[in-house]
Structure 1
């Protein structure tokens, strides 16, 4: 057994150089230890009882989860250089994602395939696709027994046995899984906290707890080893129920002193609290902490807490933070309901104003005439009667009919919006108005977009903002459209008092083509 004091980390600056920099980055022997962070008193209900609780942040490995250590160890012992070209593993997420990165970085194997349950969440499936995994789904239990010939675990095993080019690490039967925590995680914790009294980890494949429990039984037998299982009939991503632990062949029973069963609501709640306090971790991390709390509560009620303490009278407890919360965000809301979360103000806007904006689609008032109009003489010297809208262009004026009749750009068409008036607030300052305008604009342009699509369209309103919304809608429908920054008011600043249209105004309803 390695003595943790024998190895001095040579990479104090946490920098990785050279052509093999990524390999060093993923190698725990080239990194500083992953952080061990004490919970402040307000997160530790047993602080007054002489209990200090530390989170081992396995999330800080480059692969961002506790399964990186087993993946490293299993692939190191099974990949054959120059021969292995595919990895296959049955995994619900973290293990096979870690394998895909480590296989590529450490061994140059780019083909990693995930076998997993058809009950896996859409978020996890997309996450695995994001990391380049080839996915095959299997029906039946989401956590099949490792030796069940009908399940994906044994399917992966059979495929690997049939080809010398395929490796199935098989986290459920591979001793290099749990031995990775004897090799790395245990020595890190012991070096960081040699006075440790209690160790807590969840039970999934049982690899983490088997490795850590075995390690501390050897180097510090006084450490109380707590394994955590899911409550019967409940589910937390990663760990298993005690009933599902029975067929697991790792020597987990000799690696734990007691088992706690924890429910999902408490797990997600504690994970949420930890995240908001700066310890970013997923539901299985809250699950581990809840198991620790339950165990401490029982010892306190029985008056046996002093038996857990070290010579200094303090109980130093470590629990593992296993992965990140982001892939489980929907589950937090499903499990915990709305109460822990602030409501979204102006939520009605999630269904409207859905298209992009671009500053380049807003034209300054001085640009309008040279870009949209023509004249036999230079525009600056032309009379209004000489200015003609170029045939490839259209100008839509969203103002009310009486305002349009009083003044409008030559050749423009009036498409009055019922939600726009000379004294109406900007739609961007009034979410209700924005919703009404967007719905109305979508309806109008649905009726006329086939004609407008052949033209470059300029949209005018009172202050430029409603026209900006209209331009966003038109652009989303494939129409080349711009708006006038500042609207009608900006245009009036740049024309003389004599610049008033003498053309007959045209008012267009939504049912009339803009011809």
Structure 2
């Protein structure tokens, strides 16, 4: 293993190729779990996470993708990559194909039972997706499944490459080439190696490598418990048709369920080791072996000359595409409740600071008048024909004083002493529901839509909510920042005998809208 870039810096026209090439990178991190994450610390066990997630492709399948495409892509001839993959392998292939080989067309064959989040992730990375029915993890030799379909398509054209991770020995040999040497260089004291088994490539490669360089290393493979599922690994029953020499690469097998896998992954993530469920799966397999050994009194047989047992497990991918599954598997007790969750169903439209007008802008911009009443008579203030003013205050307050030409739309949820909707979720919910109900009136919205609307309330916040709703309906609307109180502060909204002589304006009658 070459290690020529300790500064982890990549220059030149081929910088991305160097960035993806393990021979141009420092080793991926190996991180010891602190004692509070290691229940066997007092037994002399040291546990280390090999962070395969820190490769540019963010998953353990980057190494096989590099190795398989290096030997299968024909420069100037290969135009398309096809692979049956549940996610990480084909996503890595798509990036490696572009970066290392200039091939932009990577197609993913996968199960129709794949989660929507994972499908969107593949689309995000530019993959062309074809779904197949049947088992989510078909046997590699099943002619009815997507694995063999990908193989047949590649056989029909020299321009198509199907690396076929299930049969390609360059899959598992990538870990002899890169992952194994990295771990051994970082931790020559290693006593136990633990990896999950899907295609079995990771375990086959690592197990074969350590059998050669340090035969004393105990090689632990982890399979899913019967009838259970963790993304990536397979059950022991589904391992039987896999053609890789995995049986010679493992010493023991553990079977692990999804609940423990997701729980441990969540714990690792919260402690700063961000990794997906298959990483928790691997750690649980290691815990089970250590617990059995401790119960049998044979744990010390795994230790090295220093009297410690140094164990490495692989962190294989990231958790983000599985977020929904964490909540499904683990239940609400693992997560803090969302405060004010009621707001997820209301106040759904965008806001924009440019829709809030300063009180001093109102007269010159909507009336074409000086900035304050001190500079003119109220009778001189005339609303521009293209503008309308919508006042949300109570009728008595509206009649006492309002901007000339205003229309009163009194809201039952708005009053002179009502808290700001942005400080009281109940007020926001009530106002938004009421406004949404009012503005389902197509005639009203159509009429308002022919004008530029200025919305006024007591303190500006309710008008801001109304502006958001109106804008969502296609109405050009603004609000007065600070509302009537700000207008009054600048001498615009002062109640006076002069103001009392002004026309009262129009009133729009609306029925109260109860919350459901």
| Gapped regions of structure 1 (runs ≥ 5) | none
**How far apart, in 2, do the equivalents of 1:59 and 1:274 lie?**
13
Bigger mean CA offset, 446-455 vs 146-155: 446-455
Q: Deviations over 1:61-119 (max 9, x none)?
A: 00000000000000000000000000000000000000000000000000000000000
Q: Distance in 2 between matches of 1:202 and 1:488?
A: 66
Q: Show CA shifts across 1:217-247 (max 9, x none).
A: 0000000000000000000000000000000
Post-superposition offset of 1:495: 2.2
CA contact 2:254–2:285 (8 Å) conserved in 1: yes
Q: Of 458, 479, 485, which aligns to 2:481?
A: 485
From 458, 463, 466, the counterpart of 1:467:
463
Q: Deviations over 1:44-77 (max 9, x none)?
A: 0000100000000000000000000000000000
Partner of 1:506: 506
Q: CA deviation at 1:449?
A: 1.1
Equivalent residues in 2 for 1:124-135, closer than 5 Å: 124-135=118-129
SS of match in other structure, 1:390: coil
1:144 aligns with 2:138: yes
Give the drift of 1:510: 3.5
Query: What is the DSSP-based 3-state SS (H/G/I as helix, E as strand, rest coil) of the residue aligned with 2:459?
Result: coil
1:234 to 221, 228, 231: 228
Moved over 2 A (4+): 374-382, 495-499
CA distance in 2, matches of 1:346, 1:68: 42
8 Å Cα contact 1:370/1:379 also seen in 2: no
Structure 1 vs Structure 2 CA RMSD: 1.4
Name the structure 1 match of 2:416.
422
Aligned position for 2:490: 494
Q: How does 1:79-478 map to 2 (within 5 A)?
A: 79-374=73-368, 381-447=375-441, 448-478=444-474
* TM-score, length basis structure 2: 0.96
* CA distance in 2 between partners of 1:377 and 1:332 (Å): 58
CA deviation string 1:376-428 (max 9, x = no partner)? 99987432112111111110000000000101000000000101111111010
Would you say how many aligned residue pairs link Structure 1 and Structure 2?
505
What is the alpha-carbon distance in structure 2 between the residues aligned to residue 378 and residue 395 of structure 1? 17
Question: 2:514 corresponds to which residue?
Answer: none
Whether the aligned pair in 1 keeps the contact of 2:393 and 2:411 (CA below 8 Å) is yes
CA distance in 2, matches of 1:378, 1:202: 74
TM-score normalized with structure 1 length? 0.96
CA–CA distance in structure 2, aligned partners of residues 504 and 155 of structure 1: 77
SS at match of 1:446: coil
Residues 196, 221 of structure 2: 8 Å contact kept? yes
Contact 1:376–1:386 at 8 Å: present in 2 too? no
- CA separation in 1, counterparts of 2:50 and 2:210? 15
Structure-2 change in CA distance of 1:315 and 1:494 (3 Å): same
